[in-house]
Structure 1
C-alpha cells in the first residue's frame, strides 16, 4: 500500500495544478442532475464543502469542474452565467467525465470564459419523443484534447453554440460536432484543429474574424455559411482552397469578407457567389480563374498578387472600393465597377486593368493612377481624376459609350500612335470630348481636360488673329507630354445629349488656342463637320504645333449665339427661388426658357419669359415656385427667330438650408474660377478676400446683396500657384472662412 503513495500524491498534485480554486468554484461530487445539490461541492476559500446551490443558480459562479467518472445532466437553464467549464484531466485510469443536455425542455448554459474538454465528453441525450434545441453560450475559447468528444448534434436533438467573447482559440485533437454555431465576438477566432461537422448553419457576425488552420465541415458538406464577418482562407495548394477549408453546401456570404491569407499560391473560389468583400493577404499569387461577383470592396494585400488567369471567364464585378497594396495582373478579363454609392481606386500601387466597365451610378474617384490596356466602357457614373491620380489609356486602348451620364471629370492621358477621343467632361456641365489624330510613334503621350469657364479669363484675343469672338463658356487643355507629333485636334459639341452652357454657330467656327503671348489665336487649317446647326458637330484644327488651352471661336460672328449673357443671380425668396439675369447685344431673340436640374446635368423647363427686343443691356427676372428642397441648378436658354439657341452659365441655389452657411465649389478646383454659394445671407455690403498659405492676400472683391441666397463666381488670378487657400467672406464684424485647394 505504501508503494502506491507516491503515485497518488503525484496525481493529486496534477489535479491541484490543473485546477486551482477560487471562491465560487464548483466541482462535481457524484453523478446526477445539474440542479441536485448533492451533485456538487463548492470551494469556500479553504476547503471543498457541500453546495447550498447549483452552479449558476446565483451570481458569482466561477469555474465548474466535472471530474472524471461523473456524468452530469443539464436539466435547467441557469439564471446566471458560469465563469468557465472544465472536463478535468486526472490521473490515468477511471471513466471520462460527461455533460449531457437532458430531456424534457430546451436548456441553455452560458459560460463567460473557456470551455476545456481535457478528459471527458459534452453530449446530448436524445429525448426520444420530442426534438430539442439547446443552447450553449461561450465567452472564451474551446479546447478539446486527448481525442475526447464535443458532440452537440444527436439525432433530432441539437444544441446551438454561440461564441461571444473577444479573441480566443478553438483547439481540437478529438471530435468536435456542432449543430449551428454563431461567432458574435469582436476579434479573431483561431481554430487550430478540425471542426468535424456543423450540422446546421455557421454564422459569423460583424467584426469577427475566423482564422482556421484546419478544415470546417458544414453538414457533411451540405450546410450553410452566413453572416457579416471575415473568413480567412489559410490552406494553400489544395485546388479550390476555400472549399477545401470550408466544406459546405451553400453560402450566404453577400455581407461577409473572405480573405485569402495563406502563405503561398491560392485559388479564388467561384463557388462563393457573391462575396461580401474579397481580400488577399499573406504571400503568393491568388488566382481568379472564373467570373466572380463582390458586393463590397476588393483589397490586394502587401506582398500578394491578385491574378486573373485567362483566357476565358475571369471577370470581376464589384460594388465597393478597389485597394491595391500589392500587384494586380490581368489577361483578357473585364473588371466592372457597379456600385450604387461612391467608389474609389486607391492603395500604394497603381493598377492596370485590361477591359474596364464604369457602370456605377455613385461615381468613381481615383486616389492612385489607373491604366487601361483594352477597352473602357462608359455606361453610368462619372470617373473623377486629378493631376496626381490620372487615368491613362495605353497604346491601342480605346473607349466606348461616353455620354452625359458617364465620362471623366478631370485629366485623361493617352499613350500610343492611335487616334483617340478623350472622354472628358465636368460634373456640372456634362460630357464634352476632345480628339486627336494618330501620332507618329507608340511612345507619344497627350493629356487632356475639359473646363467649363470663360476662356477670356486666360487671355485676350490676339489682335493679329482672324477671331471675331470666342466661346464664353468653356475650353479644353491639351498637352503634348512626350513626342513631337503635330496632330489634328478636334473639339466636339452635342446639345441633344449634353448640357454645355453655350451653343455654337458652325459657320466660320475655328479651333483657337493660346499663343506664346498668352493670347487667343487661330490658324486657317480649321474645318467644321458633323452638322449644320448649333445643336451638334465638331471643328478640327490640323497639324497643331502649340499645345496648351483650346476653345471654339468664330471668324464671322459670335461663336456662342444668339445673345451674350451678363450676370445671373439666384436666391431663395419665400417658398421658391428668384432668378435675375441681364443680357447684352440681344438680337432676334423670341424668348428665354428657365431650366432647372437636381444634378446639374439633366434639365427640365421651369418656365418661360418673353424677350423685350430692345437694344442695350436688359434685365430679366423669373420666380420658380417649383424649386425642391436641397440643391437646384439653373440655366437660362435663349431662343432666336431661326430656332438657334444658347445657354447661360449654370448656377446653384440651395433651398431649405440654415442661415450663416456658405460653401465654395468645386473644391479642389483645377480651373480658373471658383464659386461662393450661400443659401441664406443677410442684406448688406460684403467683401471677398482670398489669402495664400503664407497669409498674403491674392484677391479682393466687394459686392452688395439684397438678402437671401447668393451665388458669386470668382475668377482666380493667373498668378495663383497650386496650393491651399483661404477664402474670407466679410460683412462688418462678421467674418466667415472656407479653405479650398487649387490643383
Structure 2
C-alpha cells in the first residue's frame, strides 16, 4: 500500500501546483476543449501555464476554442513557433462566451512570439471577449487580430512596452463598418487597420486628451478611414503606410492636434482633415526621412523638423501650408515639390529650405524657399497672373560665367555678374510677366547692396533688368546681405543672377577666379594656371592641392598673391601614372576660403587631355588645346546639345601640347560638345557655344 499512496500524493501535488501544459494535438481535431490535445490529457485550468509551440507538434497549425457559450481561464499563455512555422490561436465567431478566454497570471501573462497569431473573432453580443489581468506581450513578428465587434480598450490597455515589442502587430479587421479604437494614452507596437472582414469601407476612430504612441508602423489598408478626434498628439515612431482608397483624417473635430512621424511616409491614399481644427503633420525623425506620396495631401499643414532632412521619392503637392522648422527638403526634376494655387510656405531659413527644384501653380505672389547645401537663397515672383500659371525655380551654386549655355557677355550698365551662383526660373504654363526678387546671401560676396541689379540671360547675353526695392539683411562683415527686385516685370523664364554696376574691387561677387586649368607641359611635368578677374590683395593666399590615392586632397604648394597681377602659373613635377587631380584653395583677405573646380591631367597610358576650348563663344572657329604624353592620332567627335554626332575627323597630336583649329561656321547656333578619343578608348571632352 505505501508505494500506491506515494504515487497518489505525487499526482495530487503536480495538479495543485500546475506544471506547464503543452499542446500535443493528439485528438486531431484542433480544439482547445479536447483533453487529448494536451500533455497529460487534461484541458488547461485556471492555475495552468499553457505553452503552444513546436516542442511536441511540428510545422504550422491552428488551435480553436469550441463553439457555443464556453469560456476558459488559465494562468498564462505563451505561443512560440519555431522559425518558419506559424501557429494561430483562434476565438471563432461561433464562440459567444464573454469572456471566451481569461488569463489571470502575473507579469507577461499572454505572450506572442514571432510568427504567433491570436485571432479574436468572438461572436459574443456584449462584454469583454478576451480578459488579460496583467501584461499582453506581442513580440516583434507576433500578431493579435481584433476580428470582433466587441470593444478593445481592456485589451489595448494591457499591451507591453518592453524592448522587443516595438513592431509587434495589433491588427483591427472588424466585421462591421465602424469601430472605436482605444487611443488616448495608449502605446501600440505596429498598428494595422484593415477592411477585409467587412468586405466594404470601414471607419476606425478615436479621441481623447492624452498622447498616443505607435512605436512601429501605422498601416492603413484599402477601404479604411482612420479618423482622429484627439485633443493630443499622435506619435508614429516608424513609418506611415497607406494603401489606395484609404483615408487618414487627422482631425474630425475642433482640436489643433499634432501627428508626428519619425519614419517615412509611403502613401497611396489621402491625408486630410474634416473638422474645424488645424492639425499639423510633422516629420521629426533623427535620420533622413523619405516621402513617397502617390495619393493626396489636403487641408493640412505639413511641418519639416528634422535636421537630417527629408527626401521626396515622388512629386509632393502642398495644397494648404508647408512649415519649415529645421532641416532641408531634397527634391529633383522627377520628384518635385509643388505648391498648389493658394498654398503657402513659412519658416524657411539658412537651416531649413528646399534643396532642389520647386514649382508654384497659380497667380499668387510667392517666395520660392530654395537654396543648396548651407545656403538659403530664395527667389520671389510678384505681379498679375492667372490661376493656371506654373513656375519652377531652382538655385544653382556654380559660376554662371563658365556654365555651358550661359557665359559672361553683359550689357551696360552692368560691370560684372556673379561668379558663384545663379537661379533657374521656368514658366511651365502661361505667359505672365513677373517682377523678380533675388537674394544676396553672405555667400554672394556683395559689398554694396544698392549697386546690385537683377540680370537675366536672354539666350546670348546677360540683360540688365534693373534693381530697386532693396531689402537690407543682417551684416556679415565685410559683406552685406539682403535682396534686390527687378525694376519692372520680365519674362519669367531663363537664368537669373545678381549683377553690379561697380568694379570687382568695390563689389567683388566674389574675389573672382575666372579659370583654373592643368595641362601636360611635357611627359614629366604638368603646368597649372589660373586667372582672376583682376589683381587681388597681397594678403590673399593660394594653396595648390593634389588628390592622393584615396582621393583626399593634400597641399603640395603655397603661392602668395602678388598684388599686381591676375595671372598665376606653377608646375608639378611629381606626376603619377593615371589621373592626376588638382584644385586651388583660395583664402582671401577676410579669411574666407573658397575652392576651384577640379582640374585633371592624365599621365601615361597614352592619355590625351583636352585642356582648353577657346573662346567659349565662337562664330567661325574653335581652338582646342590638347596635351598628350606621346605622339598619336585621335578621333575628334563633335555633338550638338541633343547628343547627335554632327562632325567627325581625325587629328594628329605631338607629344606635349597641340593646338587644333576646328571650323564651326557651318554649324547652327547652340551648345556643342567636343570629344577626343584615342585608340585605347581614352576620352577627353570640352564644350563651346556657337553664336
Please state which band the TM-score falls in when normalised by the shorter chain. 0.5 to 0.7
Alignment partners' CA distance in 1, 2:362 and 2:344? 11
Q: Which residue is 2:623 aligned to?
A: none
Alignment partners' CA distance in 1, 2:34 and 2:440? 85
Alignment partners' CA distance in 2, 1:697 and 1:212? 66
User: Which of 205, 217, 220 is the aligned partner of 1:280?
Assistant: 220
Q: Which residue is 1:84 aligned to?
A: 25
- In structure 2, the CA distance between the partners of 1:528 and 1:438, relative to structure 1 (3 Å rule), is same
User: Which of 375, 380, 388 is the aligned partner of 1:430?
Assistant: 375
Q: What are the residue-to-residue correspondences of 1:467-506 with 2, within 5 Å?
A: 467-495=414-442, 499=443, 503=446, 506=449
User: Which of 116, 123, 141 is the aligned partner of 2:62?
Assistant: 141
CA deviations over 1:632-676 (Å, ceiling 9, x no partner): x99845434xx59684457799xxxxxxxxxxxxxxxxxxxxxxx
Q: Which residue is 2:384 aligned to?
A: 439
User: Which of 190, 198, 204 is the aligned partner of 2:138?
Assistant: 204
Q: Which residue is 1:176 aligned to?
A: 101
Cα RMSD, aligned residues only: 5.2
* C-alpha deviation, 1:242, in angstroms: 4.7
Q: Which residue is 1:224 aligned to?
A: 159
User: Which of 447, 450, 457 is the aligned partner of 2:395?
Assistant: 450
Q: What are the residue-to-residue correspondences of 1:304-703 with 2, within 5 Å?
A: 304-309=246-251, 310-330=253-273, 332-352=278-298, 354-427=300-373, 430-456=375-401, 457-462=404-409, 465-495=412-442, 499=443, 503=446, 506=449, 508-515=451-458, 517-524=459-466, 526=468, 528-530=470-472, 534-547=479-492, 548-558=494-504, 559-564=508-513, 566-567=515-516, 582-584=530-532, 585-592=534-541, 610-618=560-568, 636-640=585-589, 647-649=594-596
Q: Which residue is 2:193 aligned to?
A: 259
Alignment partners' CA distance in 1, 2:491 and 2:135? 68
* C-alpha deviation, 1:488, in angstroms: 1.5
- In structure 2, the CA distance between the partners of 1:176 and 1:689, relative to structure 1 (3 Å rule), is farther
* C-alpha deviation, 1:435, in angstroms: 1.3
- The 3-state SS of whatever aligns with 1:618 is strand
Alignment partners' CA distance in 1, 2:371 and 2:451? 25
- In structure 2, the CA distance between the partners of 1:549 and 1:612, relative to structure 1 (3 Å rule), is same
User: Is the aligned partner of 1:152 residue 2:74?
Assistant: yes
Alignment partners' CA distance in 2, 1:359 and 1:203? 33
**Contact 1:225–1:250 (CA under 8 A) maintained in structure 2:** no
* C-alpha deviation, 1:376, in angstroms: 2.2
* C-alpha deviation, 1:327, in angstroms: 1.9
**Contact 1:199–1:219 (CA under 8 A) maintained in structure 2:** no
CA deviations over 1:218-257 (Å, ceiling 9, x no partner): 87775224521322112356552356xxxx995353xx24
- The 3-state SS of whatever aligns with 2:53 is strand
**Contact 2:418–2:510 (CA under 8 A) maintained in structure 1:** no
* C-alpha deviation, 1:341, in angstroms: 1.7
- In structure 2, the CA distance between the partners of 1:459 and 1:293, relative to structure 1 (3 Å rule), is same
* C-alpha deviation, 1:513, in angstroms: 0.9
CA deviations over 1:4-36 (Å, ceiling 9, x no partner): xxxxxxxxxxxxxxxxxxxxxxxxxxxx999x9
* C-alpha deviation, 1:210, in angstroms: 3.3
**5+ residue gaps in structure 2?**
1-5, 55-59, 124-128, 519-527, 546-556, 573-581, 601-627, 652-667, 685-691
- In structure 2, the CA distance between the partners of 1:729 and 1:218, relative to structure 1 (3 Å rule), is farther
Alignment partners' CA distance in 1, 2:66 and 2:301? 53
Alignment partners' CA distance in 2, 1:699 and 1:225? 73
Alignment partners' CA distance in 2, 1:87 and 1:204? 28
- The 3-state SS of whatever aligns with 1:320 is coil
**Contact 2:27–2:37 (CA under 8 A) maintained in structure 1:** no
Alignment partners' CA distance in 2, 1:729 and 1:203? 68
**Contact 1:454–1:474 (CA under 8 A) maintained in structure 2:** yes
**Contact 2:641–2:671 (CA under 8 A) maintained in structure 1:** no
- The 3-state SS of whatever aligns with 1:289 is strand
Q: Which residue is 1:670 aligned to?
A: none
For this pair of structures, how many residues does the alignment match?
554
**5+ residue gaps in structure 1?**
1-31, 40-70, 103-116, 127-132, 570-579, 597-606, 623-632, 654-682, 703-716, 738-743
Alignment partners' CA distance in 2, 1:232 and 1:718? 64
Alignment partners' CA distance in 2, 1:336 and 1:554? 41
**Contact 2:214–2:236 (CA under 8 A) maintained in structure 1:** yes
**Contact 2:536–2:561 (CA under 8 A) maintained in structure 1:** no
CA deviations over 1:350-402 (Å, ceiling 9, x no partner): 43463221111232122223233444222222212233332222344333332
Alignment partners' CA distance in 2, 1:620 and 1:505? 34
- Normalised TM-score (structure 1): 0.62
CA deviations over 1:61-100 (Å, ceiling 9, x no partner): xxxxxxxxxx99998779xx9763438699xxxx984889
- Normalised TM-score (structure 2): 0.66
* C-alpha deviation, 1:345, in angstroms: 1.6
User: Which of 277, 292, 299 is the aligned partner of 2:241?
Assistant: 299
Alignment partners' CA distance in 1, 2:323 and 2:544? 30
- In structure 2, the CA distance between the partners of 1:638 and 1:261, relative to structure 1 (3 Å rule), is same
* C-alpha deviation, 1:450, in angstroms: 0.7
Alignment partners' CA distance in 1, 2:388 and 2:243? 32
Q: Which residue is 1:289 aligned to?
A: 229
**Contact 2:262–2:285 (CA under 8 A) maintained in structure 1:** yes
* C-alpha deviation, 1:295, in angstroms: 0.8
- The 3-state SS of whatever aligns with 2:588 is strand
- The 3-state SS of whatever aligns with 1:123 is coil
* C-alpha deviation, 1:324, in angstroms: 1.9
Which deviates more, 265-274 or 418-427?
A: 265-274
Alignment partners' CA distance in 2, 1:561 and 1:217? 66
**Contact 1:197–1:218 (CA under 8 A) maintained in structure 2:** no
**Contact 1:233–1:242 (CA under 8 A) maintained in structure 2:** no
Alignment partners' CA distance in 2, 1:595 and 1:340? 38
Alignment partners' CA distance in 2, 1:403 and 1:321? 23
Alignment partners' CA distance in 1, 2:481 and 2:450? 13
Alignment partners' CA distance in 1, 2:239 and 2:385? 40
* C-alpha deviation, 1:543, in angstroms: 2.4
User: Is the aligned partner of 1:123 residue 2:63?
Assistant: no
**Contact 2:62–2:88 (CA under 8 A) maintained in structure 1:** yes
Alignment partners' CA distance in 1, 2:680 and 2:111? 61
* C-alpha deviation, 1:475, in angstroms: 0.9
**Contact 1:562–1:645 (CA under 8 A) maintained in structure 2:** no
CA deviations over 1:437-458 (Å, ceiling 9, x no partner): 2434544432211112221332
